[in-house]
Structure 1
Amino acid sequence: MTHVEVKSLDVILENEQRDGYCSGEVVSGHISLKLSETTTVKTIKILLKGNTQVSWVHKRSRFSEERKCLLLSKTLVATTDTRDLIFDSGTYEIPFDLQLPQSSLVSSFSGKNGCVYYMMQAVLKRPFHESQCVNRELRIVCHIDVSVPTLISPVSQTCKKMIGCWIFTSGPISLTASIERQGYCNGESIPIYALIENRSCCLVVPKAVIYQIQTYTAKGKTKSIKQLVASARGNPVASDTTSRWNGNPLKIPPVSPSILNSDILRLEYLLAGRPNCPERLLNSRRVTHLALREIADLYSYCSDTRCQKSRSATSSGDWYQWSWHEQSFFCEHELAIPHIYPSRHT
Structure 2
Amino acid sequence: RKQGGKSSRKTLKTVVSSAEEKYFDVALDVVGTGNAKAILLPGHHQLPFSFKLPQGLPSSFVGKYGVVHYEIRAEIKRPGKKSVNAKTMFTVNGLVDLNTAPGVSQPMEVRKYKKLCCLFCKSGPIGFVLKLPRRGFVPGEYLHFVAELNNHSTRNVNSVKISLLQKITFKANEKSKFVTKTVCEAKGPAVGRGDSESWSGDILKIPPIPPSKLATCRIIDVEYTLHFEMDLAGPAINLRQDIPITIGSVPLQTSYNDIRTMQNTAPALSPSAPSQDLVDGPTMFLQDIYPDLPPPSYADAVFQDRFGAQGGDENKAFDGSSEVNITQVEPVTRPGSDTPRYMPKYVTYGK
TM-score normalised to structure 2 length: 0.64
**Cα 1:84–1:71 shift into 2, 3 Å:** closer
CA distance in 2 between partners of 1:227 and 1:246 (Å): 23
Q: Does 1:292 align with 2:207?
A: no
Counterpart of 1:297 in structure 2: which amino acid? T
Counterpart of 1:90 in structure 2: which amino acid? G
Aligned counterpart, 2:288: none
Q: Does 1:95 align with 2:48?
A: yes
- Partner of 1:215: helix, strand, or coil? strand
Aligned counterpart, 1:18: none
Aligned counterpart, 1:266: 221
Counterpart of 2:257 in structure 1: which amino acid? K
Q: Does 1:120 align with 2:82?
A: no
Q: Does 1:84 align with 2:37?
A: yes
Query: What RMSD, in angstroms, separates the aligned Cα atoms of the two structures?
Result: 3.1
Aligned counterpart, 1:104: 56
**Cα 1:129–1:307 shift into 2, 3 Å:** farther
**Cα 1:311–1:154 shift into 2, 3 Å:** farther
- Partner of 1:75: helix, strand, or coil? coil
Counterpart of 1:256 in structure 2: which amino acid? P
Aligned counterpart, 2:111: 158
**Cα 1:109–1:260 shift into 2, 3 Å:** closer
Identity, % of aligned pairs? 27
Q: How big is the shift at 1:107?
A: 0.7
What does residue range 191-270 of structure 1 map to in structure 2 within 5 Å?
191-204=144-157, 205-247=159-201, 249-261=203-215, 262-270=217-225
CA distance in 2 between partners of 1:265 and 1:159 (Å): 33
- Partner of 1:228: helix, strand, or coil? strand
TM-score normalised to structure 1 length: 0.65
Q: How big is the shift at 1:61?
A: 2.4
Q: How big is the shift at 1:136?
A: 0.5
Contact 1:299 1:343 (C-alpha < 8 Å) held by counterparts: no
Moved more, 306-315 or 197-206: 306-315
**Cα 1:293–1:234 shift into 2, 3 Å:** closer
Q: How big is the shift at 1:139?
A: 0.6
Aligned residues: 258
CA distance in 1 between partners of 2:80 and 2:206 (Å): 55
Moved more, 266-275 or 122-131: 122-131
Contact 1:211 1:269 (C-alpha < 8 Å) held by counterparts: yes
Counterpart of 1:113 in structure 2: which amino acid? Y
**Cα 1:248–1:306 shift into 2, 3 Å:** closer
CA distance in 2 between partners of 1:187 and 1:80 (Å): 47
Counterpart of 2:22 in structure 1: which amino acid? K
- Partner of 1:89: helix, strand, or coil? coil
Aligned counterpart, 1:65: 19
Q: How big is the shift at 1:147?
A: 2.3
Contact 2:139 2:207 (C-alpha < 8 Å) held by counterparts: yes
Q: Could you say which structure has the greater relative contact order, defined with CA pairs below 8 angstroms and 6 or more residues apart?
A: 2
**Cα 1:221–1:110 shift into 2, 3 Å:** same
Task: Please list every run of 5 or more consecutive structure 1 residues that lacks an aligned counterpart in the other structure.
Answer: 1-57, 320-341
Q: How big is the shift at 1:138?
A: 0.3
Task: Please list every run of 5 or more consecutive structure 2 residues that lacks an aligned counterpart in the other structure.
Answer: 1-11, 264-294, 299-345
Contact 1:185 1:311 (C-alpha < 8 Å) held by counterparts: no
Contact 1:217 1:264 (C-alpha < 8 Å) held by counterparts: yes
Which of 271, 296, 303 is residue 317 of structure 1 equivalent to?
Answer: 296
**Cα 1:295–1:305 shift into 2, 3 Å:** closer
Aligned counterpart, 2:134: 181
Contact 1:147 1:306 (C-alpha < 8 Å) held by counterparts: no
CA distance in 2 between partners of 1:248 and 1:307 (Å): 14
